[in-house]
Amino acid sequence: MDFKNLISHCKEYGFIFPSSEIYDGLSATYDYGPLGVELKNNIKQYWWKSMVQMHANIVGLDAAIFMHPKTWKASGHVDAFNDPMIDNKDSKKRYRADQLIEGYAEKIEAKIMKDVTKAAKKFGDDFDEKQFRDTNGRIIERQKKIDYAINTMNQHLKDENMEALGALINELEIACPESGSREWTEVRQFNLMFSTQLGAIAGEEGKIYLRPETAQGIFVNFLNVQKSTRQKLPFGIAQIGKAFRNEIVARQFIFRMREFEQMEMQFFVKPGEEMKWYDYWKQTRLDWHKALGTPAENLRYHDHDNLAHYANAAVDIEFKFPFGFRELEGIHSRTDFDLKAHQDLSGKKLQYFDPAINENFVPYVVETSIGCDRMFLSQVGQTLQEETVPDADGKESTRTVMKLHPAIAPVKAAVLPLLKNKEELVKASKDVFKKLSAHVLCQYDEKDAIGRRYRRQDAIGTPYSITIDFDTLEDNTVTIRDRDTLEQKRIKIDDVAKVVSDKCNVNNIL
Ligand code: ATP
């Protein structure tokens, strides 16, 4: 389904609303509606269970959003959490300089892909893409342009040379996507942290920040957690919570928001063992995505060329969003940077005592960090579709269906009396609803013909529909309809709760 339709579907069915919409909304902030909050909670539950419940050596934390301002000095965010910003003088539109250059490279890559697709068609089974890319003159030239743009950009970003970055945009003749104009301002660094005032203290002294990542709440609590739980290395601390970034451009629905939610886990290891654990988490996190049914071709790794100030290795798990492959999750080997920095600035030791070697040291950290909202978008994006299915009378009709994994679907089952004006059917249905709602979130619906009701449930991703008909009154059985196969089976009323709970249980994929 195209992206615009996906956004309106999310609004129409109560998944996501623009924030403060009656005041025309607030850019890059969104509210999760009745079904959105369920889906989001289910995603969080899947993550939490797989991290905390399934690992004896990972424990949870819920740290405050506000932290002592020195936290952000130590972490490097005050000085270095910047994005390069540039304005177009004609359209007055603001851009991230690095994204303009990446957009330039993506356009060239799209041209290459066109040639590749054409050639693949022409040569059929004999086609070897790598050989074609390595030998075709036009592709080699284009690839050179991409490499030059990206490598030069990375170098300038590393050197923090904003002037050179601006010059590169001019050299590549990049035009404003809105106006086509090449009249650019200079590139400036823009700090992404939101600040506010604490209590009644005015000025710089009372200035505090809204956390731009949840990780620092974990680092400053490292010893509290280690001592209170008596964990031994390696062990992890997991946290789900809001983070805030004053993003320069945020135009892709919930992909890039200014207030969003992260699910982060910091894994503390012995220095020297970090690459082993980095590889472990890289694989484990990819498997987590696949277990939910995300096809391998929608996921890929992307190694960072441009490492953050704290990292010695970093990889993104990218997902094929409606607008292309983009970061969904990051796995970062953060060394001992954060703990050491907090130790230095606070003057408090943040070390681990290893009885085996009778020594204190600052552990190394491997982090997994995923945006809950991006995860939400990835699931809705890949499962929301229009398809042709046979109707009750054997004809074909199209339906909109969200084929979410039953474990994360917001509503697990719909309870539907065949007719609403037959008192016995309504009563029996309400009984089923009452019993089932003690186990899973379900909906009771009696309005409209049964086919229309099925369609409404398909559109919100409900995996099972339970229909109560005249046979029910005779033999205490109901039909259960499967959203994806459309198969209908009769089962006993007494088995409904167990069947639905079993099929929708997140344990099936843990
Ligand atoms: P990007 O390069 O897309 O800006 P990032 O590299 O800054 O992302 P990280 O700092 O690694 O992102 O944050 C970890 C995760 O948090 C990301 O993988 C992403 O899922 C999520 N995330 C980051 N920024 C946003 C945002 N503005 N809106 C929604 N999710 C976000």
Name the percent of the chain lying above pLDDT 70: 100
Amino acid at 94: R
260 alpha carbon, distance to own chain's centre:
10
> Is the pLDDT reported for residue 202 higher than 90?
no
Average pLDDT on 102-122 reads 93
Q: Which two structure tokens, joined as six digits, stand for 17?
A: 């609303």
Task: Output b/e per residue, 73-88; b: 16+ Cβ within 10 A.
Answer: ebbebbeebbbbbbbb
Is beta strand 364-371 parallel, antiparallel or unpaired with respect to 259-269?
antiparallel
Of the pLDDT bands very low, low, confident and very high (cuts 50, 70, 90), residue 326 is: very high
Q: What is the pLDDT of residues 457-482, one digit of tens each?
A: 999 999 999 999 999 999 999 999 99
Of the pLDDT bands very low, low, confident and very high (cuts 50, 70, 90), residue 201 is: confident
> End-to-end distance of the chain based on CA atoms, in angstroms?
29
Q: Could you tell me the distance, in angstroms and rounded to a whole number, from the CA of residue 371 to the centre of ligand 1? A: 6
Of the pLDDT bands very low, low, confident and very high (cuts 50, 70, 90), residue 8 is: very high
Mutation to probe ligand 1, out of 244, 252, 316, 374 (largest number of atoms < 8 A from CB): 374
Supply the pTM of this predicted model. 0.92
Q: Could you tell me the distance, in angstroms and rounded to a whole number, from the CA of residue 331 to the centre of ligand 1? A: 12
Q: DSSP 3-state helix, strand, coil percentages of the chain (rounded to 5)?
A: 45, 25, 30
- Residue 15 CB-density burial (10 A; 0-12 exposed, 13-18 middle, 19+ buried): buried
**For ligand 1, atom 2, which residue shows the shortest CA distance?**
327
Q: Could you tell me the distance, in angstroms and rounded to a whole number, from the CA of residue 230 to the centre of ligand 1? A: 32
Of the pLDDT bands very low, low, confident and very high (cuts 50, 70, 90), residue 311 is: confident
Q: What is the pLDDT of residues 30-76, one digit of tens each?
A: 999 999 999 999 999 999 999 999 999 999 999 999 999 999 999 99
Question: Is any atom of ligand 1 closer than 6 Å to the C-beta of 409?
Answer: no
| SS3 readout for 110-163 | HHHHHHHHHHHHHHHHHCCHHHHHHHCHHHHHHHHHHHHHHHHHHHHHHHCCHH
3-state secondary structure of 239: strand
Question: Is any atom of ligand 1 closer than 6 Å to the C-beta of 334?
Answer: no
> Is the pLDDT reported for residue 392 higher than 80?
no
